[in-house]
Structure 1
């Protein structure tokens, strides 16, 4: 840091198992990636190339290499996984991960209907090849999953070999964990935490108010994702109690 302040919560060191910031790249140029890393590399832990943007992104291998050279792993959004699966191209997807030298992958079923046993089998197979994040929750705002089902799904996917389970929110933060207004489904989150360790969950929280809520609930080292590149440093100040929303949260009472 640039100077010393007392009463700042301790952050975990990279590479971390908790306190992760997952950043969503929705189509940054190579120059934009370089600019982003020049200010935020120390605060970004993993990069998701949003949904299936990698299919149309130019200079894809060069972009991935820039992130990896900075020590930040990259993975394709879960929608791309689903696009391959729904076309019976799972083996092609596995080859794609090798072609682009990716060490992480996301397994999701937010856009297609998939039997849970099938999803867990995909996780098991991919876990022999890469580190797997599995996403729980639907992208359909009309599809409400009860808390017991969230817990059941998360447990089974962790047992199948997922490194972390992701709580769905989409890029806007208006489905899954959140109501259409962006408000956190507080009862859902609290019930999930009675059964699933917080360090095993990565909460998609693209909106500032959502990030604040999770930091206040679970502390500076909560795992959050779908963070816009321009919001990585602002998020870090929220984690450290250096923004108005959490300013007094970590101070000695």
Structure 2
């Protein structure tokens, strides 16, 4: 930090298991990536190349090299995994991970129907190759999953070998954990937390009000995901009680 302030919460240090900030790269150029990391690398723990953007991103290997040189792990969005699986190309997907030197992968079923046992088999297989993040929740706002099912899915996927489970919200923050208005499904989150340790969950929270809500509930070292690159510094001030929304949290 640039100067000293009292009554600032202690943040976990990288590489961390809690207090993670997962940023979503939806198509940054190499120069934009370099600028993003120049200001925010200390506050970013992992980057997701959103949905299947990696399929059409030019100079992908060069871009991944920029992240690697900054010590920031990268993974391809779960929608890409689903796109390979539904086409019967899971082995091709595994080869792509190796070809691009990825050490993380996301397993999801937000866009396709997949039996839980099948999903857990994919997690188990990939966990022997890379570190797996597993996303729970549907991208279909009409599909409401009851809390007990979220808990059962998260528990099973962690047992199958997932490093973290991700609570689905999409890049807009209007499905899964949230209502279409962006309002948090508070009862759902609180019930999940009765059974799943918070350090095992990354909560997708792209909207400021959602980030504030989770920090108020779980503190500075809550795991937050789908953070826009230009919002990473802002999120860090929310965590530390240095923005109006959380200003009184630690005083």
Q: Please give the alpha-carbon distance, in whole angstroms, between the structure 1 residues aligned to 2:196 and 2:63.
A: 35
Q: Please give the alpha-carbon distance, in whole angstroms, between the structure 2 residues aligned to 1:46 and 1:219.
A: 20
CA shift, 1:6, in A, is: 0.4
Where 1:133 maps in the other structure, the secondary structure is: strand
Q: Please give the alpha-carbon distance, in whole angstroms, between the structure 1 residues aligned to 2:241 and 2:200.
A: 23
Per-residue Cα deviation, 1:156-209 (whole angstroms, up to 9, x for no partner): 000000000000000000000000000000000000000000000000000000
Question: Size of the alignment, in residue pairs?
Answer: 251
Q: Please give the alpha-carbon distance, in whole angstroms, between the structure 1 residues aligned to 2:107 and 2:250.
A: 36
CA shift, 1:216, in A, is: 0.3
Q: Which residue of 1 aligns with 2:231?
A: 231
Where 1:239 maps in the other structure, the secondary structure is: helix
Q: Which residue of 2 aligns with 1:101?
A: 101
Q: Please give the alpha-carbon distance, in whole angstroms, between the structure 1 residues aligned to 2:152 and 2:34.
A: 41
Q: Which residue of 1 aligns with 2:111?
A: 111
Q: Please give the alpha-carbon distance, in whole angstroms, between the structure 1 residues aligned to 2:106 and 2:119.
A: 11
Q: Which residue of 2 aligns with 1:249?
A: 249
Q: Which residue of 2 aligns with 1:125?
A: 125
Q: Which residue of 2 aligns with 1:83?
A: 83
Query: Which ranges of structure 1 fall in alignment gaps of 5 or more residues?
Result: none
Q: Please give the alpha-carbon distance, in whole angstroms, between the structure 2 residues aligned to 1:245 and 1:230.
A: 18
Per-residue Cα deviation, 1:86-128 (whole angstroms, up to 9, x for no partner): 0000000000000000000000000000000000000000000
CA shift, 1:77, in A, is: 0.1
Q: Which residue of 2 aligns with 1:191?
A: 191
Calculate the TM-score normalised by the size of structure 1.
0.99
What is the alpha-carbon root mean square deviation over aligned residues?
0.3
Q: Which residue of 1 aligns with 2:38?
A: 38
Q: Please give the alpha-carbon distance, in whole angstroms, between the structure 1 residues aligned to 2:164 and 2:65.
A: 24
Q: Please give the alpha-carbon distance, in whole angstroms, between the structure 2 residues aligned to 1:250 and 1:29.
A: 38
1:171 aligns to 2:165 (yes or no): no
Q: Please give the alpha-carbon distance, in whole angstroms, between the structure 1 residues aligned to 2:230 and 2:250.
A: 24
Calculate the TM-score normalised by the size of structure 2.
1.00
Per-residue Cα deviation, 1:39-65 (whole angstroms, up to 9, x for no partner): 000000000000000000000001111
Where 1:6 maps in the other structure, the secondary structure is: coil
Per-residue Cα deviation, 1:28-47 (whole angstroms, up to 9, x for no partner): 00000000011000000000
CA shift, 1:155, in A, is: 0.3
Q: Please give the alpha-carbon distance, in whole angstroms, between the structure 1 residues aligned to 2:111 and 2:194.
A: 28
Q: Which residue of 2 aligns with 1:65?
A: 65
Where 1:134 maps in the other structure, the secondary structure is: strand
Where 1:34 maps in the other structure, the secondary structure is: helix
CA shift, 1:249, in A, is: 0.4
